[in-house]
Amino acid sequence: MFKQEDAYQYALCMDLTPDHFQFAIIDPKQKKIVHYEIHDIVEYTRDGVKSLLDNPYLKHDFATYCLSSGENRNTLIPIDLFSYSKPLEIFKLNYPEPIDDLDYNRISEIGIVNIYEFPLWIKSLFVIGFPRVKIVHRSTVLLRGIFDQPTYSPKIHLFVEKEQFYMQITEKSKLTYFNRFDYKEIGDLVYYVLFVLEQKEYDQSKFDILFYGQPVEWITQEKIQDFFSSKVKISDQNEKGNHFILAKQLLCV
């Protein structure tokens, strides 16, 4: 149980999207969530989000602070190549203009730089509210989280939310695929996953499929397993399943 007087021993991890703001108070030694809240976003504006930061649980003095957020558009590039290019030039190779408010994170453990769009108003709001906050893109947290666990045997990692999901494929401790998809129903998700495997000429039966992210009514091991020949795995631990993106922020501070 979280006690106010012990806040200095805990990490405050926050996640913001146009749909929701969620946060967790985490014991960094045990890597366990001791308090969690999620709130719908009524107005995805500075004032609309600022009102959610008046929560009394956010007013304590924590050991560390982290926020994951950002726009959906991001691109990955090897660290060696990044040294010879500018972020905007690289981003233009993958996305049309207008391109706004670019930033990047180095993910040294896998030799990749993540370049992404991140609204300045979000940075400003959270830096003022939490001067010691570490701000990273959501995909950076996902990548670091995925490689914080065994990745040698072939795996498909699906971070699923209400209308979007990230798909990552790892094999022999390397990232072999990364992308984000919009979807409306389970059939869309299954189609995209199978299409990617077909394009990459992967044998689905050799891969485990791991699900993370906010629960959707059809994401149960019994229901989703029927759509894949791969073995589906859904952790019953919040830190490794539903609240993966919050718990893995500990790797970013």
With contact defined as beta carbons under 8 Å apart, do 114 and 143 qualify? yes
Q: Are strands 112-117 and 74-78 parallel, antiparallel or unpaired?
A: antiparallel
- Rounded CA gap, 171 and 202, in Å? 11
Helix (H, G, I), strand (E, B) or coil at 211: strand
Give one word for 30, left, alpha or beta, with left for phi > 0 and alpha for psi -120 to 50. Answer: alpha
- Rounded CA gap, 123 and 120, in Å? 5
- The string of DSSP letters for 89-122 reads HHHHTTSPSP--SEEEEEEGGGTEEEEEE--HHH
- Rounded CA gap, 102 and 105, in Å? 11
φ and ψ at residue 26, rounded to 5 degrees: -125, 135
State the pLDDT at residue 170.
98
Is position 194 within any domain?
yes
Max Cα–Cα distance, the chain, nearest Å: 55
Is position 10 within any domain?
no
- Rounded CA gap, 150 and 82, in Å? 27
Amino acid (1-letter code) at residue 28: P
Is position 132 within any domain?
no
State the pLDDT at residue 218.
63
State the pLDDT at residue 224.
82
- Rounded CA gap, 193 and 181, in Å? 10
The count of C-alpha atoms lying within 13 angstroms of the C-alpha of 202, restricted to the half-sphere facing its C-beta, is 22
Our measurement of the distance from residue 77's CA atom to the centroid of its chain's CA atoms, rounded to an integer in Å, reads 18
Per-residue pLDDT of the chain (253 residues; tens, 9 = 90+): 788 889 999 999 999 999 999 999 999 999 999 999 999 999 999 999 999 999 999 999 999 999 999 999 999 999 999 988 899 999 999 999 999 899 999 999 999 999 999 999 999 999 999 999 999 999 999 999 999 999 999 999 999 998 999 999 999 999 999 999 999 988 999 999 999 999 999 999 999 999 999 766 666 766 788 888 889 998 889 999 999 999 999 999 8
**CATH code: domain of residue 175:** 3.30.420.260
Is position 186 within any domain?
yes
Q: At 81, list the tokens.
A: 């190549």
Is position 171 within any domain?
yes
Number of domains in the chain: 1
Q: What is the pTM of this model?
A: 0.94
Is position 206 within any domain?
yes
Is position 226 within any domain?
yes
Is position 161 within any domain?
yes
Cα dihedral across residues 104, 120, 148, 194: positive or negative: negative
- The string of DSSP letters for 35-93 reads EEEEEE-S--SHHHHHGGGG-GGGGS--SEEEEEE--S-EEEEEHHHHTTS-HHHHHHT
Strand order, beta sheet including 164-171: 174-182, 164-171, 155-160, 208-212, 231-234
State the pLDDT at residue 221.
67
Q: At 82, list the tokens.
A: 């990044």
State the pLDDT at residue 162.
86
- Those residues whose C-beta lies under 8 Å from the C-beta of residue 41, and which sit 6 or more positions away, are 16, 17, 18, 19, 20, 21, 48, 49, 52
Range of the domain at 185: 151-235
